[in-house]
A and B are shown apart, each in its own frame.
Chain A
Amino acid sequence: MGSGKTALLERLIPSFTDRGTSLAVITNDLVTREDAERLQRSGLIEPRRVVAVEAGACPHTVIREDPTLNLDAAERLEMRFHPLDLVLLESGGDNLASTFSPELVDYWIFVIDVSGGGDIPRKRGPGVLQADLLVINKADLAPHVGVDLAAMTREARDVRRGRPVIVTNCRTGEAVDDVVDHIVRNVLFDG
């Protein structure tokens, strides 16, 4: 929650648009459309290419237990904007046990942030362990919240046993290109 998922999307969208990637976005919120509306107002993407799913319950229920609402949203976007190269799906803010159903997503990024505590990787939540890519955001806040960012990153790499970790600052765009490169290689199969 508040780790910077929407901020990351706001950085990813123009990067993929610049690459000529045909893109759509699905946001998930508990009982609002706030994240979708933020993106629709951003001017970064045609508003109709952003769809909101309201979970109405714990956010992981609609990305793991029963992803039907999100699958339907993706199919509607694909029909409307065919052919789409990439659909970015943002989960609602959840906890360290949140995971995605492989029925729903091809590649899964888990976003945590420095201000949530340097001990988050050590807690070995399924999200931290299993995601295809772990993003540690808000790198610039580390000295202000007493977090040893180098140690946090090292522990994240240790517990993930070789799975990638990227440290970002989505407000400035720092290292977001690395996230784009991972998606381009592993999802779009380019490079």
Chain B
Amino acid sequence: MLKLTGIVGMASDVDLGGTLHDLAHEDRVETIVLDRRDMLRKRLRTVTDKGTDCAIALPRATTLEDGAVLLLEADRAIVIRASVETWLHLKPEDAAAALELGYHAGNLHWRVAFHGSLLAVALEGPRKDYLARLDAFLADGRITLVND
């Protein structure tokens, strides 16, 4: 088990970028892919893409970010990557439907974003579970799925 206790720097940092680039050419950069929820953690047991068992233990004031470098050695680096989020885009039929949808999403503690006239819902679980909760809205046309 490799204990990682802080962020050395960011992959985008000029002074780290060269070293990481060289290590990557030798296939010596290991990646830990985390979803949004795990990115918020301060302490986490996980494995890199090359199978290294890692124990991340950060100070409570430190927050993981996409590109955070947790280890940089002469022959190895470990970098955090955020997994790509998927969103459900919902178009309410009218203002009344939008009010009702917003209330519904709040009750379900869904994480949302406002994209003009669309409500975007972050999928933090199986898509079918979200659609099941929207069944009544979709069935009577109060909302429609967009670009989906």
Residues of A bordering B, CB below 8 Å = 97, 99, 102-103, 106-107, 124, 126, 129-130, 161, 185-187, 189
Q: Is the CB of A130 within 8 A of B37?
A: yes
Taking the nearest CB of chain B, how far is it from the CB of A106, in angstroms? 4
- Contacts A102-B37, A189-B57; A126 near B109 (Cβ below 8 A): yes
Q: Given that A97-B109, A189-B57 are known contacts, is A106 also in contact with B43, CB under 8 Å in the complex? A: yes
Q: B109, A107: Cβ atoms under 8 Å?
A: no
Give, as a whole number of angstroms, the nearest-CB distance from A104 to chain B: 10
Chain B positions near chain A (C-beta within 8 angstroms):
1, 3, 37, 40-45, 55, 57, 108-109, 124-126, 129
**A185 and B45 in contact (CB under 8 A), knowing A102-B40, A129-B125?**
yes
Given contacts A97-B109, A126-B109, A189-B57, contact A102 B3 (CB under 8 A): no
Complex Cα gap A129–B1 (Å): 28
**Known contacts A102-B37, A102-B42, A187-B43; 18 further A-B pairs (Cβ under 8 A):** A97-B108, A103-B40, A106-B41, A106-B42, A106-B43, A107-B43, A124-B125, A126-B109, A129-B125, A130-B37, A130-B124, A130-B125, A161-B126, A185-B45, A186-B45, A189-B1, A189-B45, A189-B55
Q: Which residues of B contact A185 (CB under 8 A)?
A: 45
Nearest-neighbor residue (CB-CB) of B124 within chain A: A130
A41 to chain B, nearest CB (A): 31
* C-alpha spacing A102/B3, complex, angstroms: 20
Closest to A191 in B: B1
- B3 and A189: CB pair below 8 A? yes
Q: Which residues of B contact A126 (CB under 8 A)?
A: 109
Give A130 to B108 CA distance when docked, in angstroms.
14
A21 to chain B, nearest CB (A): 15
